[in-house]
Amino acid sequence: MRTYAFLLALFISLPAYAGKPRLEPLPDIPPPPGMVDPSLEPQITITHRGGDRVEEFRVKGKLYMLRITPSHGHPYYLVDQRGDGAMRRYDDLSPNFQVPMWVISEF
């Protein structure tokens, strides 16, 4: 009886071992249209003037923020809040920091 039970179990389990499933990798999901624009990524240029380190942040070639790290003190920021070229100094980027609000793209 045990032999029949073993053979029955063997025949029932054979289809599970007979064929290996063909697994194919899923294609990458493209980002939604209009969500990824490489021209909106900030371009950062780092220069050294004397002992100071100056980092320039630009979007589409327009300068909107400078981070100056002097050799003897704490870094400070010069930010163009309105997009008119007038920079305002900040000692830190606190939570009430306002992001520049000018038109980035037009339809």
Domain that holds residue 52: 41-90
Output the pLDDT for position 7. Answer: 78
Output the pLDDT for position 68. Answer: 93
CA distance 76 to 69: 7
Residue 60 lies inside a defined structural domain of this protein = yes
CA distance 47 to 87: 18
Residue found under tokens 């003037």: 49
Output the pLDDT for position 8. Answer: 77
* DSSP per-residue string spanning 81-107: SSSSS--EEESS--TTPPPP-S-----
Domains: count for the chain:
1
Output the pLDDT for position 98. Answer: 66
Query: Contact, 91 vs 76, CB < 8 A?
Result: yes
Output the pLDDT for position 14. Answer: 64
Helical residues (DSSP H) of 1-107, grouped into ranges:
2-18
Does this model's pTM top 0.75? My answer is: no
Output the pLDDT for position 95. Answer: 58
Residue 106 lies inside a defined structural domain of this protein = no
Which residues of the chain are under the pLDDT cut of 50?
A: none
Burial 47-74 (b: 16+ CB within 10 A, else e): eeeeeeebebbebeeebbbbbeeeeeee
Looking up residue 79, the CATH number of its domain turns out to be 2.20.130.30
Output the pLDDT for position 35. Answer: 65
